[in-house]
Structure 1
Amino acid sequence: MVLYYTPADAATTGHVIYVGRDKVENEDLIKYGLEHDVWFHVDKLSSAHVYLRMRPGQTMDDITAEELRDCAQLVKANSIAGNKQNDLHVIYTPWGNLLKRGDMDVGQVSFKDESNALVRRVKVKTRDNEIVNRLNKTKVEAYPDLHAEREAFEESVRQAKKEAYRIEEAKRLEEERARKADIEARDYKHIMVDEKMKSNKEMAKKYESYEDAEDDFM
């Protein structure tokens, strides 16, 4: 089961928050996340794994201030120890930066790159019940086929790449055709075709005298 929440400005961003029911469910979320997902967790404490699903191509820089507060408050509220503490930090990173090794416990995860550029922190002073209650009112329980969702996304990416290649190839061929046409237009050799050329002697045979040729020319 996956829990879905609607962030404050979802009508504008089109983003959605989702959370695994437990640590076993978190394993599937870690495995089948999408590259435009961002993962949230209380720093150095046990908590729920909260994800913000953004639009394809977006990054952490596209998270709004309201969404950041919503995700941070939801993580804090779903941490047994963190919910009781003030002035804690919530960390967040792109799903693609999560590292899951075979020797890790169920639900445990690390990072491929721990630099500040990819692992960011936001301070949460206190629990904001207004935010938590608003989010809980939007909660929806669902049983998605995460594997199928990921396959569908990957297929859409493949199709988008094929279409981009098709457009680029058509553009290249059109530019090549235009280039060749321009070269041919600048090439006057086709005007001087040997078969159509006549010598002075051949031209003279057509006329009985110089005056006839001159009259024909005029």
Structure 2
Amino acid sequence: MVYYFTSNVVSPAAFIYVGKDKFERSVPLRIPNDPRSPSNRTSSTAHVYVRLREGETWEQIPEKLLEDCAQLTKANSIEGNKKDNITIIYTPWANLQKDGSMATGQVSFHNPKLVKKVLVRVRENPIVNRLNKTRVEKFPDLRAEKEEYLKKKRNDERKVRDQQKEKDKLEKREREQLKWQKAHAYDDMFSEENMEASNNQNRDADFLDDFM
């Protein structure tokens, strides 16, 4: 089970996901936000994920959207929700590391340098209440969602490639046409008919008399 939230602090709206309990913390979406700082490692919380929008990187998440994610993370932490000045860390999904020796919901990171922190001083009820109004509970088929996403991505990339090929073909045709025009620019001027018209031998016998 996953809770879906909609954040309208950005346009287009962003989608945030929260696993209902610790057994669903490893939902493989894009950016987890985990409030377990060194002083708060035992806090029970669901991971929060935000789906990156087209062309956006994890380092470019707008501040307002990051604040929404951080507030949801705090609100969904049993211990963290009771405390102020909670440190939340977030990282790209691909940077999560999980092995069989870890407890359920526990994760580590492949590269600690790809981890950022955000401080949540207090719970902002207006933010949490606004997001809770958009909450939808779903039982998603994450594998099917991923396959559908990858299929759409491949189709979009193919369209871009096809458009580029068509553009390249048109530009090549225009270059060839321009090259041909330059190469044959004087064809009409030196045609047999024009050469005869400009030859003095074909002029009237009275031409020189008229000139004199």
**TM superposition score category, shorter chain reference:** 0.7 to 0.9
User: How far did residue 99 of structure 1 move?
Assistant: 2.8
Q: Is the CA contact (8 Å cut-off) linking 1:8 and 1:70 kept in structure 2?
A: no
TM-score (norm 2): 0.75
Aligned to 1:18: 17
Q: Is the CA contact (8 Å cut-off) linking 2:84 and 2:123 kept in structure 1?
A: yes
Q: Is the CA contact (8 Å cut-off) linking 1:2 and 1:21 kept in structure 2?
A: yes
In structure 1, give the amino acid aligned to 2:4: Y
Are 1:128 and 2:111 counterparts? no
Match of 2:73 among 72, 75, 90: 75
CA distance in 2, matches of 1:147, 1:91: 26
CA distance in 2, matches of 1:8, 1:154: 25
Greater percentage in helix: 1
Aligned to 2:86: 88
Aligned to 2:158: 162
After superposition, give the CA deviation of every residue in 1:42-80 in whole Å (9 maximum; x if it has no partner). 033242100122322212354333322222122112222
CA distance in 2, matches of 1:75, 1:213: 97
In structure 2, give the amino acid aligned to 1:185: Q
What secondary structure sits across from 2:152 in the alignment? helix
CA distance in 1, matches of 2:203, 2:122: 107
TM-align CA RMSD: 3.1
Aligned to 1:4: 4
In structure 2, give the amino acid aligned to 1:146: L
Aligned to 1:107: 105
Alpha carbons of structure 1 residues 106 and 187: separation in structure 2 relative to 1, 3 Å: same
In structure 2, give the amino acid aligned to 1:95: W
TM-score (norm 1): 0.74
Aligned to 2:198: none
Q: Is the CA contact (8 Å cut-off) linking 2:8 and 2:14 kept in structure 1?
A: no
What secondary structure sits across from 1:160 in the alignment? helix
User: How far did residue 103 of structure 1 move?
Assistant: 4.3
What secondary structure sits across from 1:13 in the alignment? coil
What secondary structure sits across from 1:167 in the alignment? helix
Aligned to 1:139: 135
Q: Is the CA contact (8 Å cut-off) linking 1:8 and 1:66 kept in structure 2?
A: no
Structure 2 residues not aligned, in runs of 5+: 193-200, 208-212
Structure 1 residues not aligned, in runs of 5+: 198-211
User: How far did residue 151 of structure 1 move?
Assistant: 0.7
Alpha carbons of structure 1 residues 188 and 4: separation in structure 2 relative to 1, 3 Å: closer
